Amino acid sequence: MVRNPRIAFIGAGSTVFMKNIVGDVLQRPALSGATIALMDINPQRLEESAVVVNKLIATLGVKAKAETYSDRRKALKGADFVVVAFQIGGYEPCTVTDFEVPKKYGLRQTIADTLGVGGIMRGLRTVPHLWKICEDMLAVCPEAIMLQYVNPMAINTWAIAEKYPTIKQVGLCHSVQGTAMELAHDLDLPYEEIRYRSAGINHMAFYLKFEHRQADGSYRDLYPDLVRAYREGRAPKPGWNPRCPNKVRYEMLTRLGYFVTESSEHFAEYTPYFIKDGRPDLIEKYGIPLDEYPKRCIEQIERWKGQAEAYRSAERIEVEQSREYASSIMNSVWTGEPSVIYGNVRNNGCITSLPFDCAAEVPCLVDASGIQPTYIGDLPPQLTALIRTNINVQELTVRALMSENREHIYHAAMMDPHTAAELDLDQIWSLVDDLLAAHGDWLPAWARGGRKSAAA
């Protein structure tokens, strides 16, 4: 009898995301009989997710089954794959805190979930929970692969590899394939005819090659076309969000010679060039959407109210293939059929110009042997230099978590390019104090309270 996989979803209350992944999984014949173990701490969201999964199973006519759990370890027991998607502290109170407290110091952000003071705080809140999942996995499913969809991706991946090196894990994002689709659209080319190779770190990887397949089977470099389209005002074309034109990344293409994989709104806060106090001209010129993430959160919360009711009343839930890598990984590991994905893994010398122990985002071969990162070598020096500015913040945040040394939280904020360009040392110290105090019990015990309160 052929065994079917067990797939655990930790944070299954992220219903729309979970629906996309499960929909992808159930459309693959080798996975269509899977047991889907849903776990979430919110009973209402968990129940809503179970409704969606059961209707997907019925719509597709497959033999999969869904189970729900409030106990994480029970959900994980015997799992082959563990999908993690949660936001510790949610929009309220934690995301609001990450935006509103820095704003009192004149420090404005766009997304604040990956780098900067917002990313540092999210890392401090999130990593301890990921470590608990690792502990449970070692106890009840030590051979399972963790597919981690949580930000700050690079900090999380680095911290897991540092503390639990035997856990099989990959951090997954859709920015590489998503941006490639955007650029193909900007050039009016079919995405299927594009060939690319990307490497770097999550949210700051670059297309080392971006090419179009010709009729004779050869490939043509598309970078000159992208630069020309930008200079002539034909690119970027309007995207899904009118608040977020893609001008920052195109401008950086003209300066660096390579296109970065994550969005302009993200990239604007990873560097010191675009968001500056007293420079509204830059915000206007590049269309930088300050406070973008809170706006999205509010819109998503409002949209979900109607969506949840629609799912509950629908007899069928139609599903299309998403662009997420999860089902491709599961299918390749389960069947041995090879695939290539872009994953976040411990660098281990894949990118020789970056630290050996950092979290790198590189092409990975996936087959029955698991996820196998590929060798890149040195990146162009200007890309290495820019990426290192972000790695500095990630490394110090991981060091703070590993050593429980509060000083490294302040050091991480000091090294952040955007924060350091806007605030002086006293302001940075005071801002971190205020953030640690405001987040309170959402943080691990050793990090709670500002320096003032800790010293008192």
364-380 pLDDT per residue, tens: 999 999 999 999 999 99
Tell me: pLDDT of 449 over 90: no
pLDDT for the residue numbered 372: 98
Residues ≥6 apart with Cβ < 8 Å to 282:
274, 275, 276, 288
43 burial type by CB count under 10 A (0-12 exposed, 13-18 middle, 19+ buried)? exposed
CATH for the stretch 6-172: 3.40.50.720
pLDDT for the residue numbered 315: 86
- Which pTM was predicted? 0.97
Which tokens sit at 348? Answer: 């281990």
31-43 pLDDT per residue, tens: 999 999 999 999 9
Mean pLDDT value across residues 189-204: 98
- Is 141 within any annotated ligand binding site? no
- Is 246 within any annotated ligand binding site? no
Which residues does the annotation mark as catalytic? 174
CA distances from 103 to 278, 295, 416, 427, 443 (A): 14, 15, 16, 12, 21
pLDDT for the residue numbered 14: 87
Mean pLDDT value across residues 62-86: 97
Task: Quote the longest CA-to-CA distance of the chain.
Answer: 73
In 181-244, which ranges are E strands?
194-201, 204-213, 219-221
Residues ≥6 apart with Cβ < 8 Å to 260:
200, 204, 205, 206, 249, 252, 267
pLDDT for the residue numbered 455: 43
DSSP code of residue 192: G
Tell me the pLDDT band of 309, cut-offs 50, 70 and 90: confident
Mean pLDDT value across residues 345-354: 98
Tell me the pLDDT band of 304, cut-offs 50, 70 and 90: confident
Which tokens sit at 245? Answer: 């034109």
Looking at every residue in the chain, the average pLDDT score rounds to 96
Mean pLDDT value across residues 285-309: 92
pLDDT for the residue numbered 215: 97
Tell me: pLDDT of 454 over 70: no
What are the b/e assignments for 87-104, b being 16+ CB within 10 Å? bbbeeeebbebbbebbee
pLDDT for the residue numbered 305: 82
Residues ≥6 apart with Cβ < 8 Å to 137:
76, 79, 82, 144, 146, 167
Tell me: pLDDT of 189 over 90: yes
- Is 42 within any annotated ligand binding site? no
What are the extents of the domains in the chain? 6-172, 173-443
Tell me the pLDDT band of 456, cut-offs 50, 70 and 90: very low
Instruction: Among 130-139, 166-175, 332-341, 447-456, name the one with the lowest average pLDDT.
Output: 447-456
Instruction: Among 147-161, 228-242, 288-302, 441-455, name the one with the lowest average pLDDT.
Output: 441-455
268 vs 442: CA distance, rounded Å:
27
Tell me: pLDDT of 451 over 90: no
- Domain 173-443: what homologous superfamily? AglA-like glucosidase (3.90.1820.10)
89 vs 87: CA distance, rounded Å:
6
pLDDT for the residue numbered 452: 56
Same fold, 6-172 and 173-443: no
Tell me the pLDDT band of 450, cut-offs 50, 70 and 90: low
